[in-house]
A and B are shown apart, each in its own frame.
Chain A
Amino acid sequence: MLDSLLAFGGGLVLLRDSVEWEGRGLLKALIKKSALCGEQVHVLGCEVSEEEFREGFDSCVNSRLIYHDLFRDPLNWSKTGETSPGGPLGVLRAMCRRTDPGPTTIALDSLSWLLLHLPCTTLCQILHALSHQNSYPGDSSPIKQVHVLGLLHEEIHGPGLLGALSNLAQTEVTLGGAMGQASAHLLFRKPQQHPTYQTSWFSILPDFSLDLQEGPPVGPQHHSDLHTSLVDPMTHLTFNLHLSKEEKEAKDSLILPFQFSSEKQQVLLRPGPGQATSRIFYEPDAYDDLDQEDPDDDLDI
């Protein structure tokens, strides 16, 4: 479903990449796909120059790209008026306020740069405003579908920032790979529904089109073993939950102590040969009364 990433709903698509698996190629591939679909594409370039970003795109894609360059003069030192006023914040707010109809894609290259220059809360609020432009009843413009693609270098940021941005994102694509093949782990968060996960293997062709592939050959250690192995509940118990066959037989043949069968009665009444007879030894004490008469004899009952 990597190719249909932009098909459903507006919202923030977060592309998390790392040093080993770079995400700019995928970002450009998604931009090319939106441009070829007829959408308007705004690009906020902060990390690479405009020429470097535009190279590899053919002319029809390049003509649909509206590039806002923050790389050449981010702090507006040249004061020539070419760069947008207000810095990155001004550019983003201007994007929020534009009213041209039709589906739009806004690509932020990269969110990491913006996070280093803007406070996190401001950026989160602006991203939310950008991706939900159609929900304000104030303006009378028709509903526009806006996709915001943000490239985030996840190794630079702490877990708090990553968590806060993932919470905002509708879709999260984490780039990884194995054995030279790039993979994208997708997490779709639809509101009020269970999130769905997917992993796709892909490669980016030189003209920035997306090529989905089968994964690399899977080794013997498959991670689906995790699903089939039952957790043994007896691992930490100090008592037995199951009886072995011999134990079961012994249990069944055991006679209960107060269940009298005839053999048991005879055994109890007749002293067996193995039993030692018991005797009582009596040493009369000086104070003992050795009267042999039964004191109950004079009772006439």
Chain B
Amino acid sequence: MAAEATCSSGAGSTTSVAAAARKSNITSFQRRGPKAGGTESSGPRLVSIAGTRPSVRNGQLLVSTGLPALDQLLGGGLAVGTVLLIEEDKYNIYSSVLFKYFLAEGLINGHVLLVASAKEDPADILQVGPVSSSRFGHYYDVSKRMPQELLEASKCHGFFLPQKVSSTLKVEPYSLTHGYTKLLQFIQNIIYEEGFDGSNPQNKQKNILRIGIQNLGSPLWGDDICCTENCNNSHNLTKFLYVLRGLLRTSLSACIITMPTHLIQNKAIISRVTNLSDTVVGLESFIGSERETNPLYKDYHGLIHIRQIPRLNNLICDESDVKDLAFKLKRKLFTIEVREFLCFSSILR
């Protein structure tokens, strides 16, 4: 009985669809979804948020990482609700550039920003100026500044650890989890108060929260995984990432974290951290290594390793076939290329 009912309702719905198609003179093969970018108001069924687009593969909502080349390697962009972990290069030059691109992309699109750092004041971090825009993502110039009116119009929440913690603790040393706990509370408050998780359903436009956390795991956050191999509380960072991911999955936010994994002594922690993040990208710069003067590598500034791409609502992930990627940072452009077969290229030149 139930089966017959569903069949008849199914048949009914197909006839009504066919009737509707005949009426509006369109074929059933025409695409009816919202266009990319969501700027045209062609009767969208989904609420489209500025700066996001659905993925062509699985319909996941994506935001740009600020670097079109990286977007392409990650399968279109960073999915909303996920964590992008960047393993820093040794002198933290290129990872901070990617960090700034991510935040600048948020500023351009009008997203709300949350920047957390233990090393420098969050207000000093936003210093990248936009140059040109591509279809989904922009190109930024590190030497320019963001126009002042854009900075003032944007909403940016900063979390600077020495300021947040120094007011409460004066005598004992900072306990290990204190910094992380404070940060998680801060993020949770912002998500709840500004309604990114669906609470406070007012009539305002939905927006994305972009969270950026710099140098997570360094001793300045109160974590000693970078200092010793057998640390006492090696689970602080992994607990933090676990709770953070839970917060992100239930809200419209995307997070970028840079971590100095070259300092972490215990390799097991690095693999746990990789498992707890969604997308992991590692940067390895040639500065200071013997590769800097090696003529085979002279066109590039370093290698980029895509260590993990998430399988969100999927059984497989879009890993690109190419594993040998190198990057170079020119003043206006951060390009990621496949490392040419160096043998032949040196002959042909």
- Given A121-B223, A164-B227, A194-B287 in contact, is the A89-B173 Cβ separation under 8 Å? yes
Judge whether B173 and A167 touch: CB under 8 Å.
no
Q: In the bound complex, what is the Cα–Cα distance between A237 and B342 (angstroms)? A: 13
Judge whether B119 and A160 touch: CB under 8 Å.
no
Judge whether A195 and B91 touch: CB under 8 Å.
yes
Tell me the chain B residues, 265-298 only, with Cβ under 8 Å from chain A: 265, 287-288, 290, 293-296
> B296 to chain A: which residues have CB within 8 Å?
231, 233
Q: Does residue A189 face the partner (Cβ distance < 8 Å to B)?
A: yes
Judge whether A158 and B163 touch: CB under 8 Å.
no
Q: Does residue B347 face the partner (Cβ distance < 8 Å to A)?
A: yes
Q: Contacting chain A: which of B73-81, B107-115, B214-222, B309-317?
A: B214-222
Q: Contacting chain B: which of A98-106, A128-136, A258-266?
A: A128-136
Q: In the bound complex, what is the Cα–Cα distance between A164 and B221 (angstroms)? A: 12
In the assembled complex, the CB of B189 is this many whole angstroms from the nearest CB of chain A, namely 22
Judge whether A125 and B262 touch: CB under 8 Å.
no
Q: In the bound complex, what is the Cα–Cα distance between A136 and B120 (angstroms)? A: 10
Judge whether B163 and A160 touch: CB under 8 Å.
no
Contact of B228 among A89, A160, A191, A226 (CB under 8 A): A160
In the assembled complex, the CB of A274 is this many whole angstroms from the nearest CB of chain B, namely 43
Q: In the bound complex, what is the Cα–Cα distance between A46 and B93 (angstroms)? A: 35
Judge whether B295 and A121 touch: CB under 8 Å.
no
Q: Does residue B3 face the partner (Cβ distance < 8 Å to A)?
A: no
> A198 to chain B: which residues have CB within 8 Å?
none
Q: Does residue B38 face the partner (Cβ distance < 8 Å to A)?
A: no
Interface residues on A, range: 35 or more
Judge whether A192 and B96 touch: CB under 8 Å.
yes
Q: In the bound complex, what is the Cα–Cα distance between A161 and B174 (angstroms)? A: 18
Judge whether B265 and A193 touch: CB under 8 Å.
no
Which chain A residue shows the least CB distance to B260?
Answer: A167
Contact of A167 among B120, B142, B218, B229 (CB under 8 A): B218
Contact of B226 among A119, A163, A193, A241 (CB under 8 A): A163
- Given A121-B227, A124-B220 in contact, is the A233-B342 Cβ separation under 8 Å? yes
In the assembled complex, the CB of B115 is this many whole angstroms from the nearest CB of chain A, namely 16
Contact of B227 among A120, A197, A233 (CB under 8 A): A120
In the assembled complex, the CB of B105 is this many whole angstroms from the nearest CB of chain A, namely 19
Q: Does residue B176 face the partner (Cβ distance < 8 Å to A)?
A: yes
In the assembled complex, the CB of B138 is this many whole angstroms from the nearest CB of chain A, namely 20
> A161 to chain B: which residues have CB within 8 Å?
227-228
Which of A120, A189, A234 has the largest count of B CB atoms less than 10 A from its CB? A120
Q: Does residue A206 face the partner (Cβ distance < 8 Å to B)?
A: no
Judge whether A226 and B163 touch: CB under 8 Å.
no
> B343 to chain A: which residues have CB within 8 Å?
233-234, 237, 241
Judge whether B162 and A121 touch: CB under 8 Å.
no
Q: Does residue B224 face the partner (Cβ distance < 8 Å to A)?
A: yes
Judge whether A163 and B295 touch: CB under 8 Å.
no
Q: In the bound complex, what is the Cα–Cα distance between A124 and B288 (angstroms)? A: 24
Tell me the chain A residues, 190-224 only, with Cβ under 8 Å from chain B: 191-195, 197
Q: Does residue B17 face the partner (Cβ distance < 8 Å to A)?
A: no
> A160 to chain B: which residues have CB within 8 Å?
226-229, 263, 265
> B260 to chain A: which residues have CB within 8 Å?
167
Judge whether A164 and B293 touch: CB under 8 Å.
no
> A168 to chain B: which residues have CB within 8 Å?
219-220
Q: Does residue A227 face the partner (Cβ distance < 8 Å to B)?
A: yes
Q: Does residue A181 face the partner (Cβ distance < 8 Å to B)?
A: no
> B118 to chain A: which residues have CB within 8 Å?
128
Tell me the chain B residues, 169-216 only, with Cβ under 8 Å from chain A: 173-174, 176
Q: In the bound complex, what is the Cα–Cα distance between A122 and B96 (angstroms)? A: 25
Q: In the bound complex, what is the Cα–Cα distance between A120 and B218 (angstroms)? A: 11
Judge whether B219 and A125 touch: CB under 8 Å.
yes
Judge whether A164 and B263 touch: CB under 8 Å.
yes
Q: Does residue A230 face the partner (Cβ distance < 8 Å to B)?
A: yes
In the assembled complex, the CB of B85 is this many whole angstroms from the nearest CB of chain A, namely 18
Judge whether B263 and A122 touch: CB under 8 Å.
no
Q: In the bound complex, what is the Cα–Cα distance between A125 and B222 (angstroms)? A: 8
Which chain A residue shows the least CB distance to B221?
Answer: A121
> B337 to chain A: which residues have CB within 8 Å?
none
Chain A 228-265, CB-CB to B under 8 Å as 1, else 0, gives 00110110010001000000000000000000000000
Judge whether A164 and B342 touch: CB under 8 Å.
no
Q: Does residue B30 face the partner (Cβ distance < 8 Å to A)?
A: no
Q: In the bound complex, what is the Cα–Cα distance between A129 and B160 (angstroms)? A: 12
Q: In the bound complex, what is the Cα–Cα distance between A234 and B342 (angstroms)? A: 11
Which of B120, B224, B288 has the largest count of A CB atoms less than 10 A from its CB? B224
> A197 to chain B: which residues have CB within 8 Å?
288
Q: In the bound complex, what is the Cα–Cα distance between A102 and B265 (angstroms)? A: 40
Tell me the chain B residues, 114-140 only, with Cβ under 8 Å from chain A: 118-121
> A158 to chain B: which residues have CB within 8 Å?
228-229, 265
Q: Does residue A159 face the partner (Cβ distance < 8 Å to B)?
A: yes
Q: Does residue B346 face the partner (Cβ distance < 8 Å to A)?
A: yes
Contact of A121 among B222, B290, B346 (CB under 8 A): B222
In the assembled complex, the CB of A14 is this many whole angstroms from the nearest CB of chain B, namely 14
Judge whether A135 and B121 touch: CB under 8 Å.
yes
Q: In the bound complex, what is the Cα–Cα distance between A231 and B121 (angstroms)? A: 44
Q: In the bound complex, what is the Cα–Cα distance between A241 and B342 (angstroms)? A: 13
Q: Does residue A138 face the partner (Cβ distance < 8 Å to B)?
A: yes
Judge whether B218 and A226 touch: CB under 8 Å.
no
In the assembled complex, the CB of A167 is this many whole angstroms from the nearest CB of chain B, namely 7
- Given A136-B162, A160-B228, A167-B218 in contact, is the A119-B265 Cβ separation under 8 Å? no
20 A-B pairs in the complex with CB atoms less than 8 angstroms apart = A120-B219, A121-B173, A121-B224, A122-B173, A124-B218, A124-B219, A125-B174, A128-B119, A128-B162, A135-B120, A135-B121, A160-B226, A160-B263, A164-B218, A167-B226, A168-B219, A192-B93, A194-B91, A233-B343, A241-B347
Measured CB to CB, the residues of B under 8 A from A are: 91-93, 96, 118-121, 142, 162-163, 173-174, 176, 218-220, 222-224, 226-229, 260, 262-263, 265, 287-288, 290, 293-296, 342-343, 346-347
The 10 closest A-B pairs by CB, nearest first: A124-B219, A120-B227, A122-B173, A233-B343, A160-B265, A121-B219, A163-B263, A164-B226, A160-B227, A227-B293
